[in-house]
Chain A
């Protein structure tokens, strides 16, 4: 490795790659070799830098200049102006109101963040073991192996207050202690990288952006519990994460950080990667274990817990990716340091994935106890398109919806649970006032029905029944008592399902009923969707005072139900309207509106049909 004048860090997390980062990297290589600058400039492909919405992003050192939304066409200018003449390209910098922000560390998105698990993501080359070691990597493992007993290591984790980052928040040291105390010779550690929660991508980013950290975390766990074999279970949808972890294992093995007598001690360890094949339920620890064994990923009743009888019947610790990612730093900086961050019951930081109708989507890490307002408005930059904030879904399909009145609630495991949501894996889906909450609840339910493994009947049948009721409601066929039936079913399914999937799947429905009951009532009683999302519960209307009689809508109507003339203007035949929205899209003067509720013509038509049918019968 030679020292170069400039370090160019290009974010090659999956978000930026999907926006074209690899093409930009190729272009840099081409332009630099064309200009003979390859010896002066170091191109480094890093993991996720966080602000996916700005992607593709890059940071240029020594100045630390941040460029966003770079295209291959910008590369020539960056090289000619910035690299050669030393004049950074203003137009690629972030504009915050009237200010141009040049420095990476001054970007508002990063201001309230504290990076522990994500410390190296976006800063080092994830494919280089040397870069990880240069940032203090494997120091924790060395210290623990040579200076601590397994019990002492567990005590450090206990003192830090670390809880599982996968969702339920079970204290990590307790899991470890249970397995540590078992007498069996063979024990296993599994890293749960089956990140299936829609809206969560922190595990992917960690595995892709800092694989050695996860590996070191796994080995710290293995030593503490007495395991000599570990498995990474990663979903097949994450090919880059699988590649990076496999590579990290190889690199560690080559230099003796894995294998026999690590750091000259008696500790021996081997790790392997196993992939999923598209089953959400495999994120549940028993289902995951069965999947590694080569079976269907069905959960089995607990107890026995994996700590007693896990993989191939042996004591097993299953830890989430983010949990493992926190460990090296806890051992280097100390348990006390870690526990100064966060709230009374939830220590440290948490990585959240901000998505939905928010300006700065991306990956953020904040101390536990940060409020939703800080996360959504300060870090996330608020709502897009000038719409109002309506709700936020926390914890994916297992979590719940919270509203504007909860914006100042500090986010930790207990406060969220008390309000009907949950931390889950940390997916934060922000929704604006254009979203119909009944429709959103139906959507989540559809996901859970699809992903239910079918083993236990409350989940298999109960969720399907709930979906059917929601589907009826959104189609204008809701009945008195539907809300109560949804609540009754939801509570039953939650209580008696076999695994976490069924136990939490009713949450989105129950929480939307709790906070948006009026929307359910409007759908059922008034047959109206006030956000104008549910197709059967609104209608299109041409405002004659605005209509110019151009006939464009009539010509674009696939149902041929718009009639009129230049003089009389146009009218929609409501009975035949299929609600395709073409007319609204093509109207040059925007004279067509969506009106909540079913049109009286349609209601009258339906009644007439029913009467006729009754007579014929």
Chain B
């Protein structure tokens, strides 16, 4: 599978970031495994430690398995001013996990992230590729329920 993804790109080092994104997105647990790193290293002809160097530099990549849905709550100042702390507490109690953890059923991983660029509608979070704005504690509950049901 990893080999297939690699072969969509020319074996040039500058494609590394795109390849890693695609590998991570296509994995049901949204992470990059050791096997994937080895495959990419062989394909691009660079040492595996280079891949790890890049992979761990960028916050969006994970080397550990994560949930089916990645919640990324913005922790930037405009959201903070509009009460993102309360939203974070709500998410933690609702999902019964800390930041960086995955729910027992493997449905959600909760992460904090830098500015999502939707500050006009702060506080904001992103679940996978969808942005949810003007969050309130009640809204968060509805959204989580909806995503859980699929």
A435 contacts partner chain B, Cβ-Cβ < 8 Å: yes
Interface residues of B in 103-149 (CB under 8 A from A): 113-122, 124, 126, 129, 131-134
What per-residue 1/0 map shows which CB atoms of A343-377 lie under 8 Å from chain B? 00000000001111100011100000000000000
Contact residues in B for A443 (Cβ distance below 8 Å): 77, 80
Q: B125 → chain A, closest Cβ, in Å? A: 9
Contact residues in A for B118 (Cβ distance below 8 Å): 14-15, 18, 52, 201
B60 contacts partner chain A, Cβ-Cβ < 8 Å: yes
Residue total for B at the interface (Cβ-Cβ under 8 A): 39
Residue pair B120, A355 in contact (C-beta under 8 Å): yes
Residue pair A294, B121 in contact (C-beta under 8 Å): no
Segment among A178-186, A274-282, A491-499 that sits at the interface with chain B: A274-282
Residue pair B58, A451 in contact (C-beta under 8 Å): no
B5 contacts partner chain A, Cβ-Cβ < 8 Å: no
A-B contact count (CB 8 A): 141
Q: B124 → chain A, closest Cβ, in Å? A: 6
B53 contacts partner chain A, Cβ-Cβ < 8 Å: yes
Residue pair B120, A278 in contact (C-beta under 8 Å): no
Residue pair A447, B17 in contact (C-beta under 8 Å): no
Residue pair A355, B122 in contact (C-beta under 8 Å): yes
Interface residues of B in 41-82 (CB under 8 A from A): 53-54, 57-61, 76-78, 80-82
> A19-B121, A201-B118, A363-B120 given as contacts; is B17 within 8 A of A274 (CB)?
yes
Residue pair B77, A52 in contact (C-beta under 8 Å): no
Residue pair B134, A19 in contact (C-beta under 8 Å): yes
Contact residues in B for A427 (Cβ distance below 8 Å): 78, 119
What per-residue 1/0 map shows which CB atoms of B10-39 lie under 8 Å from chain A? 001111111011000000000000000000
Q: B150 → chain A, closest Cβ, in Å? A: 17
Contact residues in A for B81 (Cβ distance below 8 Å): 355-357, 429, 431, 435
A298–B53 alpha-carbon span in the complex (Å): 11
Name the interface size band of chain A: 35 or more
Residue pair B60, A236 in contact (C-beta under 8 Å): yes
> A237-B126, A294-B13, A431-B81 given as contacts; is B119 within 8 A of A278 (CB)?
no
A443–B18 alpha-carbon span in the complex (Å): 32
A195 contacts partner chain B, Cβ-Cβ < 8 Å: yes
Interface residues of A in 254-310 (CB under 8 A from B): 274-280, 291-298
Residue pair B114, A280 in contact (C-beta under 8 Å): yes
What per-residue 1/0 map shows which CB atoms of A207-230 lie under 8 Å from chain B? 000000000000000000000000
A176 contacts partner chain B, Cβ-Cβ < 8 Å: no
Residue pair A239, B77 in contact (C-beta under 8 Å): no
Residue pair A237, B113 in contact (C-beta under 8 Å): yes
Contact residues in A for B122 (Cβ distance below 8 Å): 355, 361
A201–B118 alpha-carbon span in the complex (Å): 7
A195–B117 alpha-carbon span in the complex (Å): 8
Residue pair B78, A53 in contact (C-beta under 8 Å): no
Contact residues in B for A297 (Cβ distance below 8 Å): 57-58
Residue pair B126, A355 in contact (C-beta under 8 Å): no
Q: A617 → chain B, closest Cβ, in Å? A: 36
**Which of A15, A19, A440 is in CB contact (< 8 Å) with B77?**
A440
Contact residues in B for A239 (Cβ distance below 8 Å): 129
Q: A511 → chain B, closest Cβ, in Å? A: 14
Residue pair A278, B113 in contact (C-beta under 8 Å): yes
Q: B134 → chain A, closest Cβ, in Å? A: 6
Residue of B nearest to A204 (CB): B117
Q: B10 → chain A, closest Cβ, in Å? A: 12
Contact residues in A for B14 (Cβ distance below 8 Å): 274, 292-294
A444–B115 alpha-carbon span in the complex (Å): 12
> A14-B118, A237-B117 given as contacts; is B18 within 8 A of A275 (CB)?
yes
> A199-B115, A294-B13 given as contacts; is B18 within 8 A of A279 (CB)?
no
> A201-B117, A236-B60, A296-B57 given as contacts; is B78 within 8 A of A355 (CB)?
yes
A361–B122 alpha-carbon span in the complex (Å): 9
Residue pair A278, B58 in contact (C-beta under 8 Å): yes
A238 contacts partner chain B, Cβ-Cβ < 8 Å: yes
A197 contacts partner chain B, Cβ-Cβ < 8 Å: yes
A277–B82 alpha-carbon span in the complex (Å): 26
A275–B120 alpha-carbon span in the complex (Å): 24
A203–B53 alpha-carbon span in the complex (Å): 29
**Which of A196, A236, A296, A362 is in CB contact (< 8 Å) with B115?**
A196
A318–B61 alpha-carbon span in the complex (Å): 26
A323 contacts partner chain B, Cβ-Cβ < 8 Å: no
Q: B80 → chain A, closest Cβ, in Å? A: 6
Residue of B nearest to A52 (CB): B120
A297–B55 alpha-carbon span in the complex (Å): 11
Q: B76 → chain A, closest Cβ, in Å? A: 3
Q: B41 → chain A, closest Cβ, in Å? A: 12
Residue pair B121, A200 in contact (C-beta under 8 Å): no
Contact residues in A for B82 (Cβ distance below 8 Å): 356
Can you list 30 residue pairs at the A/B interface with Cβ under 8 Å?
A14-B118, A18-B124, A18-B134, A195-B117, A198-B76, A200-B119, A237-B115, A237-B116, A238-B117, A274-B17, A277-B20, A278-B60, A278-B61, A278-B113, A279-B57, A280-B114, A293-B14, A294-B14, A296-B53, A354-B120, A355-B78, A355-B81, A355-B122, A361-B119, A361-B120, A361-B121, A363-B120, A393-B77, A443-B77, A451-B114
Interface residues of B (CB under 8 A from A): 12-18, 20-21, 53-54, 57-61, 76-78, 80-82, 113-122, 124, 126, 129, 131-134
Q: A198-B78, A278-B114, A295-B54 are in contact. List 18 more A-B contacts (CB 8 A).
A: A19-B133, A53-B121, A55-B133, A196-B114, A198-B114, A199-B76, A199-B77, A201-B119, A237-B117, A277-B59, A279-B59, A355-B78, A355-B120, A356-B78, A361-B120, A363-B120, A431-B81, A440-B77
Q: Which 10 A-B pairs have the closest CB atoms?
A: A52-B120, A18-B133, A198-B76, A277-B58, A278-B60, A294-B16, A278-B59, A201-B117, A198-B115, A355-B78
